[in-house]
Amino acid sequence: MEALKMNLDDLTRLGSCLQNNLIVVAFGSICLIFSLIIYFLIRPRPVYLIDFSCYRAPDNHKASKTMFMEHSRQFGVFDESSLDFQEKISKRSGVGDEAYLPEAVRHIPPRPTIALAREEAEMVMFGALDNLFANTKLNPKDIDILVVNCALFNPAPSLSAMIVNKYKLRTDIVSFNLGGMGCSAGVIAVGLAKDLLQVYRNCNAVVVSTEIITLNWYKGNEKSMLISNCIFRVGGAAMLLSNKSSDKRRAKYKLLHVVRTHLGADTKAFNALRQQQDGEGNVGVLLTRDVSPISGKALKINMTKLGPLVLPISEQLLYLATLIVNKLFNEKVKPYVPDFRSAFDHFCIHAGGRAIIDELEKNLKLSPEEVEASRMTLHRFGNTSSSSIWYELGYIESKKKMRKGNRVWQIGLGGGFKCNSAVWVALRDIKPALNCAWSDCIDKYPVHLET
């Protein structure tokens, strides 16, 4: 009825009001649409791990502790003191009798040539990649990004170029070759792939992590440089990552976080693990007594950065409360150490040696079951450098312990000195991978380790 009473002026004012409101609504809608477009363009893209493959060398490359010592004696370069030292380290190292050595090192005398080092690299990298391609049905020509890491063997053309040549990859492949970054470089390589997958849309990335032993077998009598001979063994892993939403259904894991810690500014940490020559000119890797405590220090710093990203709020509040008490009341209350077991279901600690695993087990207050994958990987495959965390993940999968929603913490430690973390969440219950490196022996594990 009121509408019938409206005159021409009232209708004019109503029309003007509606017109102004429509302009406001239209402008607001345009801003909203524009904001949504910007958000979808710049938001972090999920990164999925489709699958991974760990290399297992042929049985004729196995090197028992007895064979290792027999060969060391027949080399004719080690004095009795060095032989006794190597035997003692081998027995205490946690490395079993089935880990692998390259043919060049098994030969008497050793033949450390670039040609044989390339053969070892091809054997490991191509072996892991062939298995990955078979399991994922990936055509090598569909690879968009390739990242390879190997600390000590960096030939020209590079290891990444060797892969490009072998599989005839595309001319527009985005490839990187990371060298000299130590045993923690596997996480660095994943982090680089993650960053690249934020830039390149609708792409996949293949990461290859390995260490080549042939040219790095130490032939001197410096005891701190002989340790690497006793623990490093043949190994490597290849991983397929993707940012394609269509790959989520077939992916095993989603990458949640990569956190890196670098103590290179501290000279003591910088010199804890390094490649150098001894007094007679023999090249080797020096491991000082500082490696274990520095590993613990690097881990604690890394945990401080990682904690706020993964810990339940209750753990963070307890930690904050002790800091406040100490600050405000000048009380010497021991800082609360957060329980990272409340954030993770599985732990993959770099299998760098028995002492490294012991140190991290103590710092993280883990149970023997929670470090089982690391100890068994060290026993079965030795220290495979940056790839060891993938053998450990393979062990957990082979034991059928990975369930949907489980969180995994991979911890890489290496020269520099660095501690790097990668956090994954399982997108489904994980079945043991086809042709897994553990497939022929998983029923034997866990094994009892001598103290």
Active site amino acids: 183, 262, 346, 350, 379, 383
Burial per residue of 13-26, b for 16 or more beta-carbon CB atoms within 10 angstroms, e otherwise: eeeeeeeeeeeeee
Please say whether the dihedral angle defined by the alpha carbons of residues 370, 372, 377 and 378, taken in this order, is positive or negative.
Answer: positive
Which residues make Cβ contacts (< 8 Å) with residue 387, sequence separation at least 6? 54, 55, 186, 209, 210, 211, 235, 236, 237
Cα distances from 410 to residues 313, 323, 348, 373, in angstroms, run 22, 28, 5, 11
Is there a contact between 290 and 313 (Cβ–Cβ < 8 Å)?
no
Q: Is 156 left (phi over 0), alpha (psi -120 to 50) or beta?
A: beta
Is there a contact between 93 and 79 (Cβ–Cβ < 8 Å)?
no
| Local structure of 275: helix, strand or coil | strand
Q: Where are the beta strands (DSSP E) in 308-441?
A: 346-349, 407-414, 418-426
Tokens for 448? Answer: 């009892």
Is there a contact between 349 and 374 (Cβ–Cβ < 8 Å)?
yes
Is there a contact between 341 and 335 (Cβ–Cβ < 8 Å)?
no
Span between the terminal Cα atoms of the chain, in Å:
96
* Phi, psi values for residue 143, rounded to 5°: -70, 130
Cα distances from 358 to residues 207, 362, 365, in angstroms, run 29, 6, 10
Tokens for 253? Answer: 């894991």
Alpha helix ranges (H) inside 137-174: 159-167
Cα within 13 Å of Cα(366), Cβ side: 25
